[in-house]
Homo-oligomer: A and B are copies of this chain.
Amino acid sequence: MNASSAAATVRQEGEQVENRGEYDPSNPTFRLENSPFYLMAHADFKYHEDMDKVLHKHGVSKPIYRVMTVLREQQPASIGAIAEAALTKRSTISRIIDRMVEQGLVSTEPNPEDNRITEVTLTPAGQQTLRKLTPIVGRQFSRAMVGISNRDIAHLLRTLKKISDNLSKLPIE
């Protein structure tokens, strides 16, 4: 009987709690290089590390690029909505938007139905900048995915979504 099957316990709904073995950070044999979250951070770090250098040449910082990415999907968007999508605090987004307004990348106007809400929109210059940046980002993405099939990417997405779901739903403790 191996360690994996020894600790597998049948729960309600037939759900299995697997022994995570070397993946479990509370296991003494655990190694960082086998940690999904460490590897995510690592991949993400490398991805942005390179890209930032290029983006900066175009006057665009990482947080600004993040905001532009969000705006490309939903426009106009409120400060709060941007903050949520960009995984950043509202106060921070508020100031990033200030800078973007100064740079002429976005414009803001109060929501006519609720004056508390600030709606943010990409200006033509902002859209222009975004279009210029898009192929650069595309190349970086291709570079990252060399040798990885679309099937693998789909699998990766499914797993990552599942993890996010799990962490959103269940309470901690």
**A residues touching B (Cβ–Cβ < 8 Å)?**
4, 15, 17-18, 20-21, 23-27, 31-32, 34, 36-37, 39-48, 50-51, 53-54, 69-70, 73, 85, 87, 134-135, 137-150, 152-153, 155-157, 159-164, 166-168, 170, 172-173
- Known interface pairs A24-B141, A39-B161; 8 further A-B residue pairs with C-beta atoms within 8 A, sorted by A's residue number: A25-B69, A25-B134, A36-B157, A37-B141, A39-B157, A51-B172, A147-B162, A147-B166
Let me know if A20 and B159 touch, CB within 8 A: no
- Highest count of chain B CB atoms <10 Å: which of A47, A144, A156, A167: A167
Let me know if B87 and A41 touch, CB within 8 A: yes
Copies in the complex: 2
Which residues of B sit under 8 angstroms from A27, Cβ to Cβ?
138
